Amino acid sequence: MASTAQHASKFTRFLNSETGPRTVHFWAPVFKWALVIAGINDLQRPVEKLSGTQQIALFATGAIWTRWAGFVIKPRNPLLASVNFFLGAVAGYQLIRIVNYRRDVGDSPMQVFKYIIKGDPTKQKEQAPPVSIENK
């Protein structure tokens, strides 16, 4: 007698797989697509309002986890690999936008690097003076 697994439909096999919708391995990447969508929406945002450190973090996350989810971790999770690939791609594009903008402004490569890491020093908010606690 043939096993039922051989005759199961593709949907049933997907439903019961190690990375199917009954596991966190499915739902975590699905919700992570929200970061990709937010990054795509930020393509319309003015470049000077983008955070360089945030884009570096998203790019690094996307690049590292694409490799691990697609080739190293077992079971392989193509959904996680794909969302991380697109996360890294969008963040990389945003970093290119920041670099091109700062180069057009006239910054040197070192100034561009500092801008990405520290932000614009001319627009830093003034720190509030320290609050002293007095006993009355």
Mind giving me the DSSP string for the chain?
---HHHH--HHHHHHTSTTSTTSHHHHHHHHHHHHHHHHHHGGGS-GGGS-HHHHHHHHHHHHHHHHIIIIISSS--HHHHHHHHHHHHHHHHHHHHHHHHHHHHT--HHHHHHHHHH--GGGPPPPPPPPPP---
Residue 84 confidence (pLDDT): 95
Q: Encoding tokens for residue 124?
A: 């830093």
Give the global pTM.
0.73
Q: In one letter, which amino acid is 60?
A: A
Say what the pLDDT of residue 94 is. 97
Tell me what percent of the residues of the chain surpass a pLDDT of 90: 52
pLDDT score for 111: 92
pLDDT tens across 78-131, in order? Answer: 888 999 999 999 999 999 999 999 999 999 999 999 999 988 767 655 555 566
How confident is the prediction for the chain on average, in pLDDT?
Answer: 84
Query: Could you tell me the CA-to-CA distances from 105 to 46, 97, 99 in Å, in that order?
Result: 14, 12, 10
Higher pLDDT, 127 or 20: 20
Q: Band of the pLDDT at 76, cuts 50, 70, 90?
A: confident
pLDDT for position 1 = 43
